[in-house]
């Protein structure tokens, strides 16, 4: 029950839902997520930490870059099922279309440029 409540609480925030949707089928670095959400890097890192603790996302470090993706097969079934339902429901939201278009532009940018722009990476 505790794990399920952690997952539900993690998804009870619009920004975390947007992150989860953006990570469907792809891996993003923190700088790309910061650019998409338009939030402070520390705020995005906190959101990612909450999603990671709920086992909704996986992470890996490559040099100075931190990457996140949707939870893999080894994540709890509950986490994967709830994430899938939330992603399907959010995909029909008007803001999701805007995020998808913005993400296309962000993916064309070099991570180094994003890092310098954000003074982060």
| 13 found inside a domain | yes
What total of structural domains would you count in the chain?
Answer: 1
| Residue 57 within any structural domain of the chain | yes
Residue partners of 61: CB distance under 8 A and separation at least 6: 67
What letter does residue 69 receive in the DSSP assignment?
E
Tell whether 116 is covered by a domain.
no
Residue 120, in any domain of the structure: no
Q: What is the pLDDT along the chain (121 residues), one digit of tens a residue?
A: 777 888 889 989 999 999 999 998 899 999 999 999 999 999 999 999 999 999 999 999 999 889 999 987 777 888 888 888 888 888 788 888 899 999 999 999 988 777 777 765 4
Whole-structure pTM value? 0.87
Residue-wise over 62-87: b if at least 16 C-beta within 10 A, else e?
A: eeeebbbebbeeebeeebbebbeebb
Instruction: Give residue 85's domain range.
Output: 2-111
The DSSP 8-state label assigned to residue 45 in this structure reads H
Residue 31 falls inside a structural domain: yes
Instruction: Give the CATH number of the domain where residue 62 resides.
Output: 1.10.10.10
Asked if the structure places residue 67 within a domain, the reply is yes
Q: Is 38 contained in some domain?
A: yes
Q: Is residue 79 part of a domain?
A: yes
Q: Packing angle between helix 30-37 and helix 41-53, nearest 10 degrees?
A: 110
């Amino acid at each position: 029950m505790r794990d399920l409540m952690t997952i539900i609480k993690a998804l009870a925030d619009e920004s975390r839902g947007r992150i989860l949707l953006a990570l469907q089928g792809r891996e993003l670095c923190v700088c790309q997520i910061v650019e998409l959400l338009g939030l402070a890097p520390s705020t995005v890192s906190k959101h990612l930490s909450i999603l990671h603790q709920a086992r909704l996302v996986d992470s890996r470090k490559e040099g100075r870059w931190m990457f996140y993706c949707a939870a893999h097969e080894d994540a709890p079934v509950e986490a994967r099922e709830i994430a899938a339902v939330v992603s399907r429901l959010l995909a029909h939201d008007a803001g999701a279309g805007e995020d998808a278009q913005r993400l296309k532009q962000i993916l064309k940018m070099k991570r180094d440029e994003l890092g310098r722009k954000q003074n982060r990476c």
